[in-house]
Amino acid sequence: VDVNANSFTSQELKKALAKMKESEKAERKVSFLFLKQCTVRKKFRPIEQLKEEFEKLNMKMETDYEIMVKLISKFNSSASTLDEKVAALYDLEYYVHQV
């Protein structure tokens, strides 16, 4: 749109209005997503904070990844018995199935 002109055609006005509506919709969508993200943050605490609180209670919280690494090392260990290796594989199957 030529903003230096003294008058605008109806087509130019329609295009300008359409652009304004599009930008307003985009702004609303961004603000909605931001509000949604803020409410989610209020409901849930970060994993680091949860880990600290569990450590204060003398409880160690492990992620699925950490558990799977332990199971793999137990399976690869030569000190593990056959029953322990089979149990590790069954447990590992459960965690891999979730992924």
On whether the pTM is more than 0.75, the answer is: no
In a domain, 87, yes or no: yes
Same domain, 70 and 90: yes
Amino acid at residue number 52: E
Tokens of 52: 């600290």
In a domain, 1, yes or no: no
Pick from 2, 20, 22: nearest CA to 12: 2
3-state SS class at 10: helix
In a domain, 2, yes or no: no
Counting the structural domains of the chain, the total is 2
- What distance in Å separates the CA atoms of residue 45 and residue 53, rounded to the nearest whole number? 11
Pick from 63, 66, 65, 71: nearest CA to 89: 71
In a domain, 5, yes or no: no
pLDDT by position in tens, the chain (length 99): 455 556 777 777 788 778 877 777 777 777 777 777 778 777 888 888 888 888 888 877 788 999 999 999 999 998 989 999 999 999 999 999 888
Same domain, 34 and 50: yes
Q: DSSP code of 5? A: S
Same domain, 79 and 47: no
pLDDT at 35: 77
In a domain, 73, yes or no: yes
Same domain, 50 and 84: no
pLDDT at 5: 58
Q: By residue range, what is the domain housing residue 78?
A: 60-98
In a domain, 4, yes or no: no
pLDDT at 3: 59
In a domain, 80, yes or no: yes
